[in-house]
Amino acid sequence: MVAHTVRRAEPPLRLTRRGRAVVLILLAAVACAASVVLFTTASRASSDSATPGPTITVRPGDTLWEIASAVRPGRDVRESVAELRDLNHLTGYDLQPGQVLTLPRT
């Protein structure tokens, strides 16, 4: 006669308090790594310095006000002039023929 051994059902896997802490720390580390990757990708995507905006070359007689109203028709010209001055680091309102101005993106 052959003796048969009866296998007992193994209990399900249970985590100890330390095991739960390790799993929680690993999940937090993965979440932090994913946040860093997403933040880095998003900040690169929103950087305006990657591609320069359109430009215009100033002709004799052009004024900042005329250029601003032509670039952003229907908007307050004062806001458009301020935007052009900020974008081109202008301290005044005078323009020189041949000067190249970067225009705001539409």
Write the pLDDT tens digit of every residue in 41-83. Answer: 776 665 555 567 899 999 999 999 999 999 888 899 999 999 9
* pLDDT tens by residue, 87-96: 999 999 999 9
Query: How many other C-beta atoms are found inside a 10 Å radius of the C-beta of residue 87?
Result: 15
SS3 for 70? helix
Residue 65, pLDDT score: 92
Q: Which amino acid appears at position 42 of this protein?
A: A
Q: Report the CATH number of the 53-102 domain.
A: 3.10.350.10
Q: Rounded to an integer, what distance in angstroms lies between the CA atom of residue 80 and that of residue 69?
A: 7
pLDDT-derived band at 38, boundaries 50, 70, 90: confident
Q: Give kind and range of the element (H or E) at residue 71.
A: helix 64-71
Q: Phi, psi at residue 28, to the nearest 5°?
A: -65, -40
Dmax over Cα atoms in the chain, in whole Å? 114
Q: Rounded to an integer, what distance in angstroms lies between the CA atom of residue 55 and that of residue 52?
A: 9
Residue 11, pLDDT score: 76
Residue 86, pLDDT score: 93
* pLDDT tens by residue, 2-33: 666 777 777 777 888 998 899 999 999 998 88
Q: Rounded to an integer, what distance in angstroms lies between the CA atom of residue 80 and that of residue 35?
A: 37
pTM (two decimals): 0.51
Q: Give kind and range of the element (H or E) at residue 101.
A: strand 100-102
